Structure 1
Amino acid sequence: MVEVGLKYEIAFYGEVIKVDSIKGLYTFRIIELYKGKYNSQFITQKYTGTCSNIPSLKQLWIVYANFNDDKTIEVSGCSPSTGFRPYGSDSMPSPPDIKISQKIDDQIKSLSFYIWDLKFENRNLQDWIYQLEKLRTYKKTQKEISDKEKTATKLESYSVYIIISLIVNIVLLASLIFVILKKKNFAK
């Protein structure tokens, strides 16, 4: 899911803090940015159609999205973006069918649905933590690559400075030798 998600322009871990379902706007507070450049702590998703994911619950989300022209984001229903608790979203499968005979009482049925909910929540929590760890690893490797590039750039800059200082020193030495030889020839 993370590999697919990183194909989008921005990836972050955040919290839905404002829901305006009438205007189709959902505001996230970015907690951790993993991919993309964004300078604000808040970002707004604009619902643009039937393929948009609707984060209607104020909760934590892992978001993979593309930018719209107006600097809002589009969270596609095809992206692996997910809320911490997927209830109320399309990502939650329907409960299993339980064939009830007259002998099974409602309490057993209720318990089996409760167990199903717990299993689903457990699986979702495992997936959630796995995605966060993969994203953090991705961010760390990107930082290491960036640091190596900066170091290489600094080394290139130092090389240029060393070459320039060598040329200046050679020119100064040649000038000094020229001045000394001219004074010797002038003294004769």
Structure 2
Amino acid sequence: MKIRFFLLLVLFGISNCLACKCVEYSIKEKVNIGLKKADIIFYGELIKYDTLKMTYSFKIYEIFKGKVASKIINGNAEGSSCDLFPNEKGLWIVYGNFNTDKTLIGLSACSPTQSQNFGPGFPPIPFKFDSKGKIISKDEMEMSLFNLENQNKSLQSFIYQLEKLRQYKQNQNIISENLKSSFYQKIVIVSVIVNVILFLSLIMVINRKRV
């Protein structure tokens, strides 16, 4: 299982290095950029994926940005070098963008999208080379340490993102409530002005009839 996990990281890392170039940002910067660029951001669970059709489905538990008609949202990887295909069932934080007809979402490998066990972007490939340039195989202890370090960093990033996204949502709700309050205040003011004008008009009509 550990070797399989390592090979998965290696394959992802190689494909990312060769095909997709992402600008390096801190996790704080990534979240801020994700908030600006993503159509929809949510915390949910990857419930299924199809490696042949390159499609996947998430169950949404908490939404931070965007609107959806259902708690189940579907996506696909269209084949771009920077497309991210989620294939680890479990909890995820997702920054997605809708396709042209807004029926599916797509994920970018350069976004902060991550699972609970696999952080945003790709971890550095833990290779060591001998004097002849050949890869030195890692023993079980080294692999265990690498896996634990990666999972720890991923979990820290996951918790940090949840906190920041919930703060963002709370701030947006406060702004929304303030806008509503301002809107209602304007309605009241306009209503008062209209009523005053109507009252004055009524007085003028009554006075004319008396004359």
TM-score when normalising by structure 1: 0.81
Match of 2:104 among 72, 75, 88: 72
What is the letter of the counterpart of residue 148 of structure 2?
L
**2:179 corresponds to 1:149:** yes
Partner SS for 2:168: helix
Compare CA radii of gyration and give the structure with the larger one: 1
Match of 1:33 in 2: 63
Is the contact between residue 8 and residue 65 of structure 1 (CA under 8 Å) also seen in structure 2?
A: yes
**2:189 corresponds to 1:176:** no
Partner SS for 1:86: coil
Shift of 1:33: 1.2
What is the letter of the counterpart of residue 91 of structure 1?
F
Shift of 1:96: 5.9
Shift of 1:53: 0.6
**2:86 corresponds to 1:55:** yes
Shift of 1:34: 1.0
**2:166 corresponds to 1:136:** yes
**Which digits, 9 at most, give the CA deviation of each residue in 1:14-47, with x for residues without a partner?**
1111111111110011111111222211111111
TM-score when normalising by structure 2: 0.73
Partner SS for 2:186: helix
**Which digits, 9 at most, give the CA deviation of each residue in 1:120-175, with x for residues without a partner?**
21111111110111111111111111111111111111111111110111122223
Q: Distance between the aligned counterparts of 1:96 and 1:60, measured in 2?
A: 29
Is the contact between residue 16 and residue 26 of structure 1 (CA under 8 Å) also seen in structure 2?
A: yes
Is the contact between residue 95 and residue 113 of structure 1 (CA under 8 Å) also seen in structure 2?
A: no
Match of 1:4 in 2: 33
What is the letter of the counterpart of residue 67 of structure 2?
K
Partner SS for 1:45: strand
Match of 1:91 in 2: 122
Structure 1 unpaired stretches of 5+: 100-108, 183-188
Is the contact between residue 15 and residue 59 of structure 1 (CA under 8 Å) also seen in structure 2?
A: yes
Q: Distance between the aligned counterparts of 2:128 and 2:95, measured in 1?
A: 33
Is the contact between residue 110 and residue 121 of structure 2 (CA under 8 Å) also seen in structure 1?
A: no
For the aligned residue pairs, the C-alpha RMSD in angstroms reads 2.2
Match of 1:185 in 2: none
Structure 2 unpaired stretches of 5+: 1-29, 131-138
What is the letter of the counterpart of residue 5 of structure 1?
G
Is the contact between residue 25 and residue 45 of structure 1 (CA under 8 Å) also seen in structure 2?
A: yes
Change (3 A) 1:33 1:98: same
